[in-house]
Amino acid sequence: MGKIIELKHPLVSHHMATLRDKSTEPHLFREQVRRLSLLLAYEATAQLPLKPIAVQTPLTTTECMELACRLALVPILRAGLGMSGAIHDLIPQSEVWHLGFYRDESTHQPVEYYQKFSDPPPDQAFIIDPMLATGGSAVEGINRVKEWGVKTCSMLCIIASPEGIENVSTAHPDVDVFTCAIDDGLNESAYIVPGLGDAGDRIFNTL
């Protein structure tokens, strides 16, 4: 079974308050998404493999470490874009590959509209989306990444519902889920409660 990691950190709690607040303007909402994404990435990268490299300092040669895997960031459009830039800045050698899904408003099922992956697949992938609601988009996104040939996947989201976690864990028991908060559940429109509303609309100012 994959691990479910809910971040417990004062900065996460502090920034989540602003993110959830309905009066937070899009520019600050985007900044908070970036801050929380960095905290998530710090946790999600803790087990990345390293290899030794020789580095010449001004004084001597010493053994240092560098990342020893090809890591792909896979943001799910649109809202995942709000997170991937910050994580890409933190791990500049990571690759960014996009997947496009939107939720059908009546069925709440994910509708795929964009995928572009090329061979060979990377060693690991972080699937990135701020909201894990029913889990439909995440399950399909992870399906695509595994079909690509990626062996190790993690899901990074800012808010997860218990239903979404259950669906991802059932479909993909090998995938770890990193989240800043596990909320109470979903309402009749499959929105996360208490949640933050529509993440994509708040990031892109399209409410």
Residues of the shown chain interacting with ligand PRP in the complex, contacts defined by CB under 6 A: 76-79, 101-103, 108, 110, 129-138, 164, 190, 198-200
192 binds, among ligand PRP, ligand URA, none (CB under 5 to 8 A by kind): ligand URA
Q: Does 131 bind ligand URA (CB under 6 A)?
A: yes
101 binds, among ligand URA, ligand PRP, none (CB under 5 to 8 A by kind): ligand PRP
Of 4-12, 34-42, 46-54, 188-196, the window that binds ligand URA (rule: CB under 6 A) is 188-196
From residue 199, alpha-carbon distances to 65, 124, 131 in Å are 37, 26, 7
**Widest CA span of the chain, in angstroms?**
65
Q: Does 192 bind ligand URA (CB under 6 A)?
A: yes
> From the centroid of its chain, how far is CA 88?
12
From residue 109, alpha-carbon distances to 135, 136, 139, 148, 168 in Å are 9, 6, 11, 22, 14
Among the listed residues 152, 150, 94, the one whose alpha carbon sits nearest the alpha carbon of residue 117: 150
Among the listed residues 54, 93, 89, 86, the one whose alpha carbon sits nearest the alpha carbon of residue 70: 93
191 binds, among ligand URA, ligand PRP, none (CB under 5 to 8 A by kind): ligand URA
Q: Does 81 bind ligand URA (CB under 6 A)?
A: no
Q: Restricting to residues 95-114, name those near ligand URA by CB under 6 A.
A: none
Task: List the one residue from 80, 110, 121, 195 that touches ligand URA (CB under 6 A).
Answer: 195
76 binds, among ligand PRP, ligand URA, none (CB under 5 to 8 A by kind): ligand PRP
Check the CA dihedral 176-179-181-187 and report its sign: negative
Among the listed residues 207, 202, 206, the one whose alpha carbon sits nearest the alpha carbon of residue 82: 202
Q: Which residues bind ligand URA (CB under 6 A)?
A: 131, 133, 191-192, 195, 198-200
